[in-house]
Structure 1
C-alpha cells in the first residue's frame, strides 16, 4: 500500500489527510506543535520580526486556529493562468466548512456604524462570509485568539475525520530534512526519528516549507508575500467593539480590502482610551512578492507600491471611521504586519500544476504555492487546492 506523509496540520494538511484517509490511503500527519483546545490557540502564536511583522501559529490545526473565520474566494483567475480550476472544489469546501452570512443578531453596533458610515460615503461594504456556527457563537471579540466556544471551523475538524479513518497524527515533532537517496524520495527526518513513505506533501507554511525544499536542493524561498495589513482606529466612547465578532463586514477593492477590526495595539497609542472605546478598521493589501526566506532569515519590506496602497486604504478607513462617529483627532495606526505569508514555492516556479516539485513524489500544499498575494484571507483557496491535490493523488498516484 502507498504511504503518504503530510508535514503540517493546517488548512492544507488537514483536508488533504482527510481526503486521502477516507479513500483508504495510509496517511501519517507530522506536526511541529502540540494539540491545544481552540480557546488556548493564542498561546502558540509566533511573531517573526522582519521588515514587516509576520504572525504565525505552531499547533495542531495551524493558523486556522486563530483566523477570524473569513471565507472569501481568492486567486481563482490567477490560478486559471496555470490551468488550475478549483471552482468545484470551492463549492465542496464551502459546504463542508459551513460558509454562511451570520445572522443580524451577531452583527455588533460598531460594525453597523462602520457599514452605515461606508454607505454614507458611497462605498459598498457588505457582510463577510464566515465559517462560524451561529448557534454556538456568543460574540466576545476573541476570534483571532482561538474561539473559546469552538464555534469556528478549524483544520482540527478535518484532522479528526482523518484519524477516524485510520490516519496517524504525530505532534510535537519538527521535520528537519527530506530524505532523498540517489534522486529518489524516501521520507523525512524529524528531530528524533526518520519516517519513510512513497509520497511526501509539505504543508508546513510559507516559511518552513521552502526551508525544507532548500534542504533537498530545490531552489525555493523567493517571492514571499504576506498580505500586509494595518489597523486604523480611534475613540467612540463605550462602543464595545472589542467584544464583537471581528471582521464581520467587507469592502473589497482590486488590490486591498477594508474590514472592521479591533487591535489592542491601538489602545496603548491613544491616551486614556479603554478597549471598549476603540472602533477600528483593518486595511489589507495585495503586497508585492519581494520578500525571501533563507535557511537563517526572513526578509520582507514594504515596497513603494505597498506603501501607496496602505496610505490609500488608511485614508479611506479614516473617512469611514469619522463618518461612523469616531473622533478624527484620536485616529492612530498599528505598524505594518502580515498574516498570510505565501509565494515561496510558487506554481510555475517551484511546483507544477499538480503541486509536485522536481523530485518525484514530493508535493507542496499550503500558501507557499500561490503565485501572487491574494490580498484577502486565503483559507478557502488553500483548502480547495489541497482537496484538488487529494483527488489527483487518489486517482493517479496511490
Structure 2
C-alpha cells in the first residue's frame, strides 16, 4: 500500500487517519474547512434547511468541535448482528478519551433539579458519560459553541498527534470527485482555492468521511448508488421559566434519560429565550430539556439537494418525549404556563451509505479500495450522540486496512 487519502477530519476521518499514521502508513487527509481554534468553532456552523434544520460545521475537526462531549455507545447490538463486533474498539476509545461521568462539582442547580424531578416521577435519569477533562472544564454552557478552555476532546487532538507521525493535512480544500477508471480506484479530484484550479491526487485507498450529506455525493461521483435512507436524529428542546436558575451556564446534556425511541437530556437553547423574552424573562431564567428521537430513515441526498421531513412516527415520538419533558420541568418548579418548544432540528445525519446496502462489513464499497467511515454507514438512527461509535468504527477500519 503506497498511500491513503482520507476525506474529512471529523470523528471518523481524524481517527482512521491517526490510527493508520501511527502504524506507519502514508496518509493524506483533505478537509474542506479550514483550521480554527476550538473557542471559535461557532463561526463554522454550516446549517442546512432540509425540511428540518440540519446542524453541521465545516472546519478542521468538524462537528467534534461543537459536540457536548457525550460518550454513549450507540447501535452496538445492531453492528454486532451485522458481523461487526466493536466491543474491544469501544474499550480502547473510552480508555484513550478518559470517558467518565463528571464529578458533582460540575453539576449545576438546573441539571440537579431536572434529575431530582425525574426521580420524583419514577424515572431514572443517569449522569451522562463525557469525554471532558473536569480539571480543565469550568462550566460555562458553551460546549455547542466550541470549548473556550479546550477541556473537551475533539478530532484536533488526534490530528495533532498524527501529524507528528507523518500525517499530511490539506485544509481549506474541497474534494470534488472520486476518480475511477474502468471500475478501478485512481484517487480524488480537488479544487485548489489558491490557484482556482482542479487538481488530482493518486491513491491506493480512499476513505470517505465527509458526513452523511457530502459522502453520498462523492460516492455517486464514482458511479455508486448512495444517498437514500437519510436520518438526522431529530430533536427539539422544551423549556420554561424558573427565575434566576442560571441553567444556561451549566455543562450541556449532563444527564441522560433513555426511553423507547428517544432520549431526554438537560439542555439550554437560545431559541427558548427568543420565545419568552417578550414576557421580560432573560437567559438566566430558562430551564430546558432536549428530546432527541430515533427518527425514521425517510430522507435522501442527491445532486438536487437534501430532503428530510418528519414522518407521523417521528412526530408521535417528539410529542411523547415533549410531554414527558414538560412533566419533568413542571415537577422541577418551572411555570407550566411558560412552557415552549424549539422547532424540530437535526444534529446527527446518517444512513446514506448504510452497511449491507452501500458498504460491506469492512466498510468497503463495490469499488475496491474505496471505503466510508462516518455516520453514513449506520443501519438506523441511533437516537443518541453517535461520536463514540464512529470512533470505534474508525479504529476497526484502520485495523482492517493496515492488515492488507
TM over 0.5: yes
Match of 2:257 in 1: 251
SS in 2 for 1:46: coil
Tell me, yes or no, if structure 1 residue 350 matches structure 2 residue 363: no
* Aligned counterpart, 1:266: 272
Match of 1:129 in 2: 129
Listed as ranges, the matches of 1:1-398 within 5 Å are 1-192=1-192, 193-270=199-276, 271-395=279-403, 397=404
* 3-state SS, counterpart of residue 284 of structure 1: strand
Give the Å deviation of 1:65: 0.4
For residues 281-326 of structure 1, the C-alpha deviation after alignment (integer angstroms, 9 at most, x for no partner) is: 0000000001000113100000010000000000000000001110
| Separation in structure 2 between the aligned mates of residue 204 and residue 194 of structure 1, nearest angstrom | 18
CA distance in 2, matches of 1:263, 1:209: 29
Moved more, 1-10 or 220-229: 1-10
Unaligned runs of 5+ in 1: none
TM-score normalised by L of structure 2: 0.97
Corresponding residue for residue 195 of structure 2: none
Distance in structure 2 (CA, Å) of the matches to 1:339 and 1:93: 22
C-alpha displacement of 1:162: 1.1
Secondary structure of the corresponding residue to residue 57 of structure 1: coil
Shift of 1:254: 2.3
User: Once the 2 structures are TM-superposed, how far is the Cα of residue 380 of structure 1 from its aligned partner?
Assistant: 0.4
| Alpha-carbon offset, residue 164 of structure 1 | 0.7
What TM-score, normalized to structure 1? 0.99
Regions of 4+ moved over 3 Å = none
Q: State the distance in 2 between where 1:46 and 1:268 align.
A: 21
Q: How far apart are 1:183 and its partner, in Å?
A: 1.5
1:197 & 1:342 partners in 2: Cα distance? 26
- Runs of 5+ consecutive residues of structure 2 not aligned to the other structure: 193-198
Offset of 1:215 from its aligned partner? 1.0
Would you say how many aligned residue pairs link Structure 1 and Structure 2?
396
**Aligned partners of 1:296 and 1:154: how far apart in 2?**
32
Q: Distance in 2 between matches of 1:329 and 1:225?
A: 33
Deviations along 1:303-362, one digit per CA (max 9) or x if unpaired, are 010000000000000000001110000000000000000000000000000000000000
Superposed displacement of residue 280, structure 1:
0.1
CA deviation map 1:138-161 (0-9, x unaligned): 011000000000000001111111
Query: RMSD of the TM alignment (CA)?
Result: 0.6
Q: 2:4 & 2:280 partners in 1: Cα distance?
A: 55
